[in-house]
Amino acid sequence: MNFETPLLPGQLVRRYKRFLADVVLAGGEAVTVHVPNSGAMTGLDQPGSAVWLSRSARPGRKYPLTLELIRADGVLVGVNTMHPNRIVAEAIGAGRIPELAGYPRLRREVRYGRASRVDLLLASDDRPPCYVEVKNVHLRRPTRGDGRTAEFPDCPTARGARHLEELSAVVAAGGRAVMIYLVQRADCDTFRIAADLDPVYAVGLDRARAAGVEAYCYACTVTVDEIDLDRPLTIGPGQ
């Protein structure tokens, strides 16, 4: 996924109210920007961190600048949770996710279940439909284990737990259901569920996998020009 326009560099002053941050641009101008991330962003909200912003072309937007990248632990990390669906869709179209190969048709944001929209719905004439939920991952806690494990979620997610139930129902009805965890950073070797941060989600994923829901994780390469799906990560036990 290429950024549509060159990103603007700046320095983070503070993040607050979840969806806002104050940033000083490279030229010294202080601005308030939109933060498209409802999570805790643990380790990614340190004042003074280098950040990169996109500028919206939509006129009249209250906060025309959006936080896209932040430098943490020496690497660039993508924090915009609106991008993973597009990144995964592009990778599927390019044949770069072998587990999801063989589906010539892809639709986004399709209603299913009780009150949900599946991120991606894959279809083929010779197999059941495949329902794909994509989760953004950016948490890495350097002091835990080997320090190179990506984790999800970074705070409790009731919505995520509901999606696991919906996917389990898809399998029970004869369809295929897949969870894709997309790590928007390149400094992780494995992936696990952060059971200490959300034990309900951890139990929910175990139940969903036992019911036939598949789970895969991929890391990304991240630059100021693009975020690109890179390589699969092993999914380890939650901790």
pLDDT at 57: 83
Handedness of CA 93, 54, 33, 220 (dihedral sign): positive
Stretch(es) of the chain classified as CATH 3.40.1350.60:
84-235
Beta-ladder partners of 228: 221
**Correct CATH for 84-235 of 3.40.50.620, 3.40.1350.60, 3.10.150.10, 3.40.50.1970:** 3.40.1350.60
Name the nearest CA neighbour of 28 among 41, 13, 18: 13
Question: Which residue is it, tokens 């048709």?
Answer: 105
Q: What is the largest CA-CA distance in the chain?
A: 58
pLDDT at 21: 98
Handedness of CA 147, 78, 223, 119 (dihedral sign): positive
The answer to whether the beta carbons of residues 164 and 204 sit under 8 Å apart is yes
CATH topology of domain 8-78: OB fold (Dihydrolipoamide Acetyltransferase, E2P) (2.40.50)
Strand 8-16 to strand 50-55: parallel, antiparallel, or no bridges (unpaired)?
A: antiparallel
Tokens of 98: 């072998």
Torsion of CA 94, 75, 37, 120, to 10 degrees: 10
Cβ neighbours for 173, distance < 8 A, ≥ 6 positions apart: none
pLDDT tens-digit readout, 59-77: 888 999 999 999 999 999 9
pLDDT at 238: 62
Stretch(es) of the chain classified as CATH 2.40.50.580:
8-78
pLDDT at 177: 98
pLDDT at 41: 95
Name the nearest CA neighbour of 198 among 160, 169, 236, 234: 160
pLDDT at 239: 53
Residues in the chain with pLDDT < 50?
none
The answer to whether the beta carbons of residues 44 and 85 sit under 8 Å apart is no
Handedness of CA 202, 236, 46, 231 (dihedral sign): negative
